[in-house]
Amino acid sequence: MEERELDVLLELGQSYLLNRQYSEAINKFKEALKINPRDPELYYHLGLAYEGAGEFEEAKKMYLNVLELDKNNDAAERRLRQITSRKTKAPKQPSQPPGG
């Protein structure tokens, strides 16, 4: 029963994620993690949902969880690098004021 419920929650979460309904996706992936807290795929998708919602620190935590469970997860490593590089880049300042 739990396995079927897990599949449904994952599918719903992915659907919400694809439709950019990030808070709904986050809720479904969190529900799924209550059933299976050792599934790196759930953490990865939750990271994507947090990232889409602009919650980059939470996304970073989820990708780190993925890598704890699956040290060779290239997708999570890539997302983590992108978030980290995004945060370290300072916004570009125009060389002269707009319209000047």
Measured distance CA(29)–CA(32) in Å, rounded: 5
Assigned domain for 76 exists = yes
Q: Number of structural domains, the chain? A: 1
Residue 61 lies in a domain: yes
Biggest CA–CA distance in the chain, Å, is 66
Closest CA to 9 of 75, 65, 91, 26: 26
Which residue range forms the structural domain that includes residue 46?
2-86
CATH number at residue 58: 1.25.40.10
The predicted model scores a pTM of 0.84
Note the pLDDT tens digit of each residue in 1-43. 688 999 999 999 999 999 999 999 999 999 999 999 999 999 9
In a domain, 51, yes or no: yes
95 Cβ neighbours under 8 A, 6+ residues apart: none
